[in-house]
Amino acid sequence: MRSLLLEEMTWPEVREALRDGFDTVVTAVGAVEQHGPHLPLLVDAVRGDRLALEVARRLDRALVAPTIRVGCSEHHMAFPGTLSLRPATLEAVCADYAASLARHGFRRVCFVPSHGGNFAPLADMTGRLQTAAGPDCEVRAYTDLQSFVALWKRAVAEVAPQMAHRVGGHADIAESSEMLCIRPDLVRRGQAECGHVEDFGPALAERLFDEGFAAVTPNGVLGDPTGMSREIGERCIAAVADGMAVALREEGERR
């Protein structure tokens, strides 16, 4: 096929792909929100584009649906420009994705969040998304935010062990390095600055979602982006895609 991207295919090409066993679709769930003073609002949306493609390549015969570009970002609303969907709105969109794909004969729909605020809503809605898809299409979702950040940290440690502590989970060395690989033209390297540095754990996550990012990090950064590089970015992208693909396969095996 010319492309794994569903929206770049013609309908006869989609029909042929289904006949050839391409019965899995990966959908990224992103965000349009602040990413500190050095990264644009579209970070999680374009990272979602790349992430979904990389996960699809690691799964057996999978296509990629258009990224859901805006997600649940209420905790970033103190920063101008951020857009946020209510969880019920995001669920309605995800349910319609799943139902549409199931009607065409796809057997698996996998949702992969590229934004931290979408993990918990996806975990909560997965059962209802399964109902929307029906009995002949399995809905899977990667919903472990702590493991996601840990994948970044291990990836940075493999390339630059002395910089692993700069992984904080948002606009940090990992995410900034990924953007150097995806949209380097939009990275304001000269404006990169350290934010709130703390190991990302359940207590910090709870505070961020309850009180908002501005209560924890005035510049919107969790971690430290300094030292970002394309080498780190490519390793982070690969590590997260590997980890997500494994988790999605294991989820299917447990059912």
- Domains located in the chain, CATH noted: 6-144+240-254 (3.40.50.10310), 146-236 (no CATH)
Residues 25, 6: Cα–Cα separation, whole Å: 9
Closest CA to 79 of 42, 114, 33: 33
Residues 52, 112 contacting (CB under 8 angstroms): yes
Instruction: List the pLDDT tens digit at each of the 255 positions of the chain.
Output: 689 999 999 999 999 999 999 999 999 999 999 999 999 999 999 999 999 999 999 998 999 999 999 999 999 999 999 999 999 999 999 999 999 999 999 999 999 999 999 999 999 999 999 999 999 999 999 999 999 999 999 999 999 999 999 999 999 999 999 999 999 999 999 999 999 999 999 999 999 999 999 999 999 999 999 999 999 999 999 999 999 999 999 988 887
pTM to 2 decimal places = 0.96
Cα separations (Å) of 237 from 52, 105, 121, 157, 160? 11, 30, 23, 14, 15
Q: For the chain, count helices (H), then strands (E).
A: 8, 6
